[in-house]
Amino acid sequence: MSIASTMILSILLSGGLLLLLFAVIGFYVWRDASRRKMNPVLWTLVAVIAPAFVGFIIYLLVRSHFPDLACPSCGTAVEKTYVVCPGCGVRLKRACTKCGFPAEENWVVCPKCAEPLLDSENVPEITPPVRKKDQALWKVLLLIFLIPALLFTLLCILNLSVPSGGLQASSLRSYDEEKMEQYQEIPEIWDWLQSSREKDPEGVYVLGYQGGIENEESPGRKETVYLIYRPSTGYMKAVNEGARSSFWRGTDTVITFEDTFDPGWSHAYYPLTCYVYEGDEYRGLELVVNGRSVDYELQEIDFDPSLEAYYVRTGIFGER
């Protein structure tokens, strides 16, 4: 998977999860505001649009003035001023015996008709309305914490470079044209170089090798070698090696080239680059040229294509 598609996937995932979170908050506020006889359209918009959940927090603070009351005996939604439940007739509140005006517990005289109110002992039994338990709120709050945590974890899995365990060694060498000529000794690679250049000089061609290293001290070591050919490269300013891991793909080596077409004193022409990696895993390859991820044509080979390996095979040491 390339850097671009990983990024698109991350953006889609984060966008989808955030959208889900706002949908849940919106639905909750809509339902809750309707029940409390607050303006549901207004409050849903405030809760969803105001950034960083500010609207939702304001809604939670304001809604306490609009209690969500219910009859303790039948569950019908009632209001603070109701004397009896309209659903089952149970007494919810004290009231003036003369005019029926709803009265608070500690009032002595009716504020409407000035009739003295009865002592609480002489009043018929009152069961005050209960506040509905809001279990949905806890679920919404849990989501507000869980979704960002989930998002963070996902982004980590997608993007973080996790160093792999065990000993690893790598080398990155660039070959100029003179060194490239030495491949005439290895017809398989020389033919590949010629045919690649004829195909499309603007292309990027990679010869890949994967093999085990027979070593008693460290069994299970794996070697990955990439010979990277860029026929129409400019002058090389810099070449760097990095790594990028993902949960399901293992680790890719990312080789970054910086080219220029200005032949400055420190710049040289290196059409070939050889990358060797040794570790407990094989490495994939990503190439970035002048800041852009590039596609390349990969061909596999069944021997190590580096010049250094050729010197070892043929016994030519130190020839540079």
Report in angstroms how near the CB of residue 103 gets to Zn ion at its nearest: 8
Report in angstroms how near the CB of residue 132 gets to Zn ion at its nearest: 13
Residue closer to Zn ion (CB basis): 109 or 169? 109
Report in angstroms how near the CB of residue 131 gets to Zn ion at its nearest: 15
Report in angstroms how near the CB of residue 100 gets to Zn ion at its nearest: 7
Residue closer to Zn ion (CB basis): 127 or 232? 127
Residue closer to Zn ion (CB basis): 76 or 182? 76
CB 249 within 8 A of CB 284: yes
Residue closer to Zn ion (CB basis): 71 or 228? 71
Report in angstroms how near the CB of residue 61 gets to Zn ion at its nearest: 29
Residue closer to Zn ion (CB basis): 30 or 101? 101
Phi, psi of 241 (to 5 degrees): -120, 135
Residue 251 neighbours by CB under 8 Å, 6+ apart: 162, 164, 243, 244, 245, 281, 283, 284
Question: Can you tell me whether residue 279 is helix, strand or coil?
Answer: strand
Report in angstroms how near the CB of residue 16 gets to Zn ion at its nearest: 43
Residue closer to Zn ion (CB basis): 23 or 109? 109
Chain residues binding Zn ion by CB under 5 A are 71, 73-74, 76, 85, 87-88, 96, 98-99, 101, 110, 112-113, 115
The Cα 285–Cα 271 span in angstroms is: 18
C-alpha dist (Å) from residue 108 to 104, 112, 117, 260, 266: 9, 12, 5, 93, 98
Report in angstroms how near the CB of residue 86 gets to Zn ion at its nearest: 7
Strands 77-78 and 69-70: antiparallel
Residue closer to Zn ion (CB basis): 71 or 276? 71
Say what the alpha-carbon torsion angle 226, 229, 234, 235 is, to the nearest 10 degrees.
50
Q: Which of 144, 160, 163 is nearest to 10 (CA)?
A: 160
CB 17 within 8 A of CB 25: no
* Alpha helical stretches, state H, 36-173: 40-49, 54-62, 135-159
Residue 67 region by backbone torsions, left for phi larger than 0, else alpha for psi between -120 and 50, else beta: beta
